[in-house]
Chains A and B, each alone.
Chain A
Amino acid sequence: MTAPAIECRGVSKRFGHVLANDSVDLRVERGSIHGVIGENGAGKSTLMAILHGFHPADSGQILVDGNPAVIRDSADAARLGIEMVHQHFMLVEPFTVLENVMLGAEGGALLAEGTAHARQNLLRLGRDYGLVVDPDARIADLPVGARQRVEILKALHRGAEVLILDEPTGVLTPQEADDLFRVLRALRDEGKAVILITHKLREVMAVTDRVSVMRAGRMVAHRETAETTAAELGELMIGRRPAASSRPIPATPGPALLHVDDLRVRDNAGVERVRGVTFALHAGEILGLAGVAGNGQTELLEALSGMRAPEAGAITLRGQNIAGLDAAQIRRRGVAHVPEDRLRHGLVAEFEAQDSAILGYHRDPAWRRVLGLFSRSRVNAHAARLMRDHDVRPAAPRLRSSLFSGGNQQKLIMARELERAPEVLLVGQPTRGVDIGGIEAIHTRLRRWRDAGKAVLLVSVELDEILALSDRILVMFDGRLSGELPAGAADERQLGLLMAGAHA
């Protein structure tokens, strides 16, 4: 029996007080697709960072093809044939595909020879694995799916024998994901080892041969994919039976609160990203807005919340046009906003949590006293109450915002936005980077909000989330609404087609 392509024996890694990897074992065979699953913070990324040379392990051993290996940096990893495709692509946007693929493997002082070689290799790889990309296209002009193919080509050009993919399908439509899986199978059949990091059980079941489950820094199980079920893996991942994700109780939508009429929005570069969107949002419903990232949802949300002035069209809140008002004015009119990117917009990383807890509401007289100056004790008490009521951990108002986990940051933002009982709640990617326990809490809160007769607009790239929460689903593609489905009638295939711009 040949030695495994990668073997970890008792690998441990500690960050401060957190044991991110606790004596982890892992065997990945050649010619296999190996899934590594676990919640956020389970230690998957740390383990892969160790394999790729970002962090040294504190203890334990790594064997490559049966030989003990020392991986100090990504150059070491590359020499051993270990390459990684990151969740956030590491591409130089103004460069062409060819130039990106050659990056770090230029092959000598003069470019000409390396270029010719790379071009040839690129064509061959494209043929062998079905990875067809125009070598002379600029990255900036390519859609996300193609960029990912470039990342894979880059890895293969550098001679990858072990390919690690970190959450590769997060930015893909279901159809694009299927294409990716075809490529991965071709790689497996060539005898390469593929490690697929994901938290999506469906993908693990669909494409892997073996799967390893991590929880709280430990490897808790290894399974042959054929001999396990998604249900078992889910239980292993969170350590208990997940709460049954109930279909939403049929909503009793009230009157329309927010009308959007032929809205057009340009991004900072002047590109029209929202190209004539019309819909109504009713009290007592969760309206899901599905779509692959980058199809205008972000700009739509920014326009509705007042962060970005629309180019044309109307946004009517209870009969009053609010298009073009700034975020503070719209917030005062009872529209709260949980932003897509919480670190960029939702809070100020270097502020204490109690200061982030009043972002957007900082003019409120509730925490001001003498001469209108802030009362630190009131700001503090307010944050402490929000943290207690919404189970934010640690409940430390003076801790720096950046030191909270993603889930707890999100809970704090939700708490802040829900506090004024807004009639309309705009929510972007509410559970991105949040662990399963946190996801349940956030979903429950959104449902309760809906049941209380408020209007919720949910923008998410997670189809599972859209399907689990929405009463009605809109699909956005290329700046337009490509379809609307009632929740009951929607299935993933149909949504996928709409997300890809095809008509269902």
Chain B
Amino acid sequence: MSLRPLPRWADLVLLPVLNLVLALLVSAIVVVAAGQSPAAALQALLVGSFGSWDSVGFTLFYATDMAFAGLAVAIAFKCGLFNIGAEGQAALGGLGLALVMLWLDASLPAGIVVPLAILAGAGFGAAWGAVPGWLQARRGSHVVITTIMFNFIAASLMVYLLVNVLIEPGNMAPETRRFAVGLSPLSDFGFPGRSPVNLALPLALVAALAVWVLVWRTPWGYGLRVVGSNPDAADYAGIDQGRRIVAAMAISGALAAGIAVNQILGSQDKLILNFTGGAGFTGIAVALMGRNHPVGVLLAALLFGALAQGGAELAFEMPELPRETVLVVQGLVILFTGALGGLLRAPLARLFAARA
């Protein structure tokens, strides 16, 4: 009970790095058990994620998803809410922006229709987040439960719409027609290599900055943090908890829609099913590892982007390694950096206390 808190740098840098090392060590055991060389696997992972401009581009492309998802989870968490619904909010975001694109992409110039589509996507995502927020604030239904249910509703809704309504006539696959325009890839601006990384990446950086300013530099964000840390003190200070909760969930949903911007508008150019690929859930681990701070979230997003890209390369480079091994490695990183993030905290604190 008397352990002093860790120094800031140890808490923010040393601890996550140690957790990552631990995860890789256990992964090495798994690789050895599968009869392969862990050194070769690690090399494949690193080369696969950062070995060429192509792979760097793919890593950044995946990292963009993770950044939006992580920011979405983080801002809700700052308000004391555990938003598990980024997946569904992203799906609805995709629907919103696809509707605008299908409707207006032929009649308006790209410079107008694309921002409009992004706004619509954010709006749909925000609405899909705000409803569970409202249910918690006014009806006491826990967002953990409602957002999970909203994921299922969103998934079913998307299947129905893409199979029955939005499908391109004559197409067998449940997807819309291609949009006439989209978000420009970064290669248009001189980014080397061939990869789908696009303008959604700088958009994610702007979003991270905006989240930071909003949460840490405005009275509104101050109230958000009070609600998240001590709801009773919010009553005392005259901060309306319910309104903060609804707003935090709406912003969270809008940020989750960034996944759709990156995937649908930046890469696919059409609305498809399951484009989120689980990024909404990985966002929970990203936020956990990033300690719910935008800078931490960006760094963690880069790590998880690298794991996604490097993992795919690993499966390609070492076909003898069961495909599932890659999933196990990714899972271990999530486990150690997210769920078991505090594992090394106490021993580390003791170490520092002994030195002091």
Which residues does A use to contact B, with CB under 8 Å?
15-16, 305-308, 326-331, 337, 339, 341, 344-351, 355, 358-360, 362-363, 368, 372-374, 400
* Residues in A whose Cβ lies below 8 Å from that of B226: 348, 351, 359
- Is there an interface contact between A373 and B213, defined as CB atoms closer than 8 Å? yes
Q: Give me 10 A-to-B residue pairs in the complex whose CB atoms sit less than 8 angstroms apart, sorted by A's number.
A: A308-B235, A329-B238, A344-B232, A345-B232, A348-B226, A350-B230, A359-B237, A373-B213, A373-B217, A374-B218
- Is there an interface contact between A16 and B2, defined as CB atoms closer than 8 Å? yes
* Residues in A whose Cβ lies below 8 Å from that of B4: 16
Which residues does B use to contact A, with CB under 8 Å?
1-5, 213, 216-219, 222-223, 225-226, 229-230, 232-233, 235-240, 353
Contacts beyond the supplied A358-B222, A362-B222: 9 A-B pairs with Cβ under 8 Å? A15-B1, A326-B238, A326-B240, A328-B238, A349-B229, A349-B230, A351-B229, A362-B223, A362-B237
CA distance A348 to B237 in the complex (A): 11
* Residues in B whose Cβ lies below 8 Å from that of A373: 213, 217-218
CA distance A218 to B2 in the complex (A): 20
* Residues in A whose Cβ lies below 8 Å from that of B236: 305, 307, 327, 337, 339, 345-346, 359-360
CA distance A348 to B225 in the complex (A): 9
* Residues in A whose Cβ lies below 8 Å from that of B2: 15-16
- Given known A-B contacts A328-B238, A368-B219, A374-B218, A346 and B213 have beta carbons under 8 A apart: no
* Residues in B whose Cβ lies below 8 Å from that of A305: 236
Write the nearest CB–CB distance from A247 to chain B, whole angstroms.
33
Write the nearest CB–CB distance from A44 to chain B, whole angstroms.
17
* Residues in B whose Cβ lies below 8 Å from that of A347: 233
9 closest Cβ pairs, A-B complex:
A328-B238, A327-B238, A15-B2, A345-B236, A360-B237, A373-B217, A362-B222, A348-B230, A363-B219
Residue in chain B with minimal CB distance to A329: B238
- Is there an interface contact between A374 and B217, defined as CB atoms closer than 8 Å? yes
* Residues in B whose Cβ lies below 8 Å from that of A341: 232
CA distance A327 to B230 in the complex (A): 16
* Residues in A whose Cβ lies below 8 Å from that of B353: 16
CA distance A308 to B236 in the complex (A): 9
- Is there an interface contact between A348 and B229, defined as CB atoms closer than 8 Å? yes
* Residues in A whose Cβ lies below 8 Å from that of B239: 328
Write the nearest CB–CB distance from A398 to chain B, whole angstroms.
10
Write the nearest CB–CB distance from B211 to chain A, whole angstroms.
14
CA distance A400 to B8 in the complex (A): 12
- Given known A-B contacts A328-B238, A362-B219, A368-B219, A350 and B229 have beta carbons under 8 A apart: yes
CA distance A360 to B2 in the complex (A): 31
* Residues in A whose Cβ lies below 8 Å from that of B219: 362-363, 368, 372, 374
Write the nearest CB–CB distance from A348 to chain B, whole angstroms.
5
Residue in chain B with minimal CB distance to A376: B217
Write the nearest CB–CB distance from A396 to chain B, whole angstroms.
14
Write the nearest CB–CB distance from A173 to chain B, whole angstroms.
28
* Residues in B whose Cβ lies below 8 Å from that of A374: 216-219, 222
Write the nearest CB–CB distance from A138 to chain B, whole angstroms.
25
CA distance A63 to B233 in the complex (A): 46
* Residues in B whose Cβ lies below 8 Å from that of A327: 235-238
* Residues in A whose Cβ lies below 8 Å from that of B229: 348-351
The residue in B229, B235, B240 that gathers the most chain A C-beta atoms within 10 A of its C-beta is: B235
CA distance A305 to B232 in the complex (A): 13
Residue in chain B with minimal CB distance to A54: B1
* Residues in A whose Cβ lies below 8 Å from that of B230: 344, 348-350
CA distance A327 to B226 in the complex (A): 14
- Is there an interface contact between A331 and B238, defined as CB atoms closer than 8 Å? yes
- Is there an interface contact between B240 and A344, defined as CB atoms closer than 8 Å? no
The residue in B1, B233, B239 that gathers the most chain A C-beta atoms within 10 A of its C-beta is: B233
Write the nearest CB–CB distance from B152 to chain A, whole angstroms.
33
* Residues in B whose Cβ lies below 8 Å from that of A329: 238
CA distance A344 to B235 in the complex (A): 10
CA distance A140 to B118 in the complex (A): 55
- Given known A-B contacts A373-B217, A373-B218, A400 and B5 have beta carbons under 8 A apart: yes
* Residues in B whose Cβ lies below 8 Å from that of A350: 229-230
- Given known A-B contacts A15-B2, A327-B238, A344 and B218 have beta carbons under 8 A apart: no
Write the nearest CB–CB distance from B36 to chain A, whole angstroms.
45
* Residues in A whose Cβ lies below 8 Å from that of B5: 400
Residue in chain A with minimal CB distance to B213: A373
* Residues in A whose Cβ lies below 8 Å from that of B237: 327-328, 359-360, 362
- Is there an interface contact between A345 and B233, defined as CB atoms closer than 8 Å? yes
* Residues in A whose Cβ lies below 8 Å from that of B3: 16
* Residues in B whose Cβ lies below 8 Å from that of A344: 230, 232-233
CA distance A327 to B239 in the complex (A): 8
Residue in chain B with minimal CB distance to A360: B237
Residue in chain B with minimal CB distance to A330: B238
CA distance A374 to B233 in the complex (A): 20
Write the nearest CB–CB distance from B322 to chain A, whole angstroms.
44
CA distance A10 to B240 in the complex (A): 53
* Residues in B whose Cβ lies below 8 Å from that of A358: 222
Residue in chain B with minimal CB distance to A403: B5
CA distance A368 to B238 in the complex (A): 19
Residue in chain B with minimal CB distance to A16: B2
- Of A15, A308, A346, A363, the residue contacting B233 (CB under 8 A) is A346
- Is there an interface contact between A307 and B213, defined as CB atoms closer than 8 Å? no
- Is there an interface contact between B238 and A372, defined as CB atoms closer than 8 Å? no
- Is there an interface contact between B222 and A345, defined as CB atoms closer than 8 Å? no
The residue in B223, B238, B240 that gathers the most chain A C-beta atoms within 10 A of its C-beta is: B238
CA distance A348 to B226 in the complex (A): 7
* Residues in B whose Cβ lies below 8 Å from that of A328: 237-239
CA distance A151 to B236 in the complex (A): 33
Write the nearest CB–CB distance from B74 to chain A, whole angstroms.
16
Write the nearest CB–CB distance from A405 to chain B, whole angstroms.
14
Write the nearest CB–CB distance from B122 to chain A, whole angstroms.
22
Write the nearest CB–CB distance from A301 to chain B, whole angstroms.
11
Write the nearest CB–CB distance from A209 to chain B, whole angstroms.
34
* Residues in B whose Cβ lies below 8 Å from that of A306: 238
Write the nearest CB–CB distance from B318 to chain A, whole angstroms.
45
* Residues in A whose Cβ lies below 8 Å from that of B238: 306, 326-331, 360
* Residues in B whose Cβ lies below 8 Å from that of A360: 236-238
- Is there an interface contact between B213 and A348, defined as CB atoms closer than 8 Å? no
The residue in A348, A349, A374 that gathers the most chain B C-beta atoms within 10 A of its C-beta is: A348
Write the nearest CB–CB distance from A28 to chain B, whole angstroms.
26
Residue in chain B with minimal CB distance to A305: B236
Residue in chain B with minimal CB distance to A374: B217
Write the nearest CB–CB distance from A146 to chain B, whole angstroms.
28
CA distance A346 to B5 in the complex (A): 23
* Residues in B whose Cβ lies below 8 Å from that of A348: 225-226, 229-230, 233
* Residues in B whose Cβ lies below 8 Å from that of A326: 238, 240
Write the nearest CB–CB distance from B209 to chain A, whole angstroms.
12
CA distance A147 to B2 in the complex (A): 31
CA distance A345 to B223 in the complex (A): 14
CA distance A400 to B229 in the complex (A): 13
* Residues in B whose Cβ lies below 8 Å from that of A372: 218-219
* Residues in A whose Cβ lies below 8 Å from that of B233: 344-348, 359
* Residues in A whose Cβ lies below 8 Å from that of B235: 307-308, 327, 345
- Of A16, A308, A346, A355, the residue contacting B222 (CB under 8 A) is A355
Write the nearest CB–CB distance from A269 to chain B, whole angstroms.
14
Residue in chain B with minimal CB distance to A356: B233
Write the nearest CB–CB distance from B144 to chain A, whole angstroms.
22
Write the nearest CB–CB distance from B355 to chain A, whole angstroms.
13
Residue in chain A with minimal CB distance to B216: A374
Residue in chain A with minimal CB distance to B353: A16
Write the nearest CB–CB distance from B269 to chain A, whole angstroms.
37
